[in-house]
Amino acid sequence: MRVVVVGASSGLGRCIGVGLAKRGARVALLARRLDRLERAVEEAGDGAVALACDVTDEESVAAAVEKAAVALGGIDGVVYSTALMTVGALRDVGANRWADAFATNVTGAARVTAQTLPYLEKSRGTAIYLSSISASLTPPWSLIGSYVATKAALDKMVEAWRWEHPDVGFTRIAVGECAGGPGESGTQFGSQEDQAVLTAGIHDWIRRGYMTGDLVDPDDLVHAVDAVLRLGPSSSIPHLALTPRSAPRTTEGSS
């Protein structure tokens, strides 16, 4: 299985890229920070390639996808993990930040899909997009409304791609809270945003019960992605959600 993972320099995308390679896939790891991708490739092992790619730049995406297809000898799967989390009350999010969020989370996904489509049509492959439970399973979380709006747009766009190209598998995975893996596989989500506002958001998400302290294990996410990619071409999984399951609560006196 030959898989392109976009947004593989940190967090969930890195876990997925390295994890799929460990399960026997040949992977091309794409993102802007090449030094990080090269370290991920070392972890992924033989046959993995690191390719610099900025999803907001048409030529960068076209060049990276072509290099990936040549290096892998075709493409069976694409995983779009790239996203930008914009933090702030909607009244404070200016037009430029809206534009950045849509360019990275939605238009970038459209660009990657358009460039990889000919390869996926040929292989009868599958494209997977990481989305968020905050866009489909719960009310929009406070102070990340602009991010949630991009994920809702992404969800609808994935559906539209499926209707236009029913011969290709299109799957969105709504993910619940996941910290990623160790070291550079840890999530960097929101790290460049205003930490005081993010902390206020986290307090509200805990109060409303959206955040419970339970986390999705990144290995479970890799397992789900692997299973979707390995599905035969007769069927497709339009969407699935991966939410944290509560750890058993020990009660006093229980054995």
Ligand X SMILES: NC(=O)c1ccc[n+]([C@@H]2O[C@H](COP(=O)([O-])OP(=O)(O)OC[C@H]3O[C@@H](n4cnc5c(N)ncnc54)[C@H](OP(=O)(O)O)[C@@H]3O)[C@@H](O)[C@H]2O)c1
List contacts with ligand X (CB under 6 A). 7-13, 31-33, 53-56, 81-84, 104, 130, 132, 175, 177-178, 180, 187-189
Q: Report the nearest approach of ligand X to the CB of residue 112 (Å).
A: 9
Smallest CA-to-CA distance from 242 within 229, 224, 230, 219 is with 224
Instruction: Decide: 96 and 157 in contact? Cβ < 8 Å.
Output: no
Which strand (E) or helix (H) includes residue 77? Answer: strand 77-80
Collapsed DSSP state (helix, strand, coil) of residue 113: helix
Return the residue nearest ligand X (CB atom): 11
Residue closer to ligand X (CB basis): 25 or 150: 150
Which tokens hold the place of 230? Answer: 């390995």
Contacts 24+ apart (CB under 8 A), 185-190: 185/10, 185/11, 185/14, 185/15, 185/18, 185/218, 186/10, 186/11, 187/10, 187/11, 187/12, 188/10, 188/11, 189/11, 189/83, 189/85, 190/85, 190/87
In angstroms, give the least distance from the CB of 142 to ligand X. Answer: 16
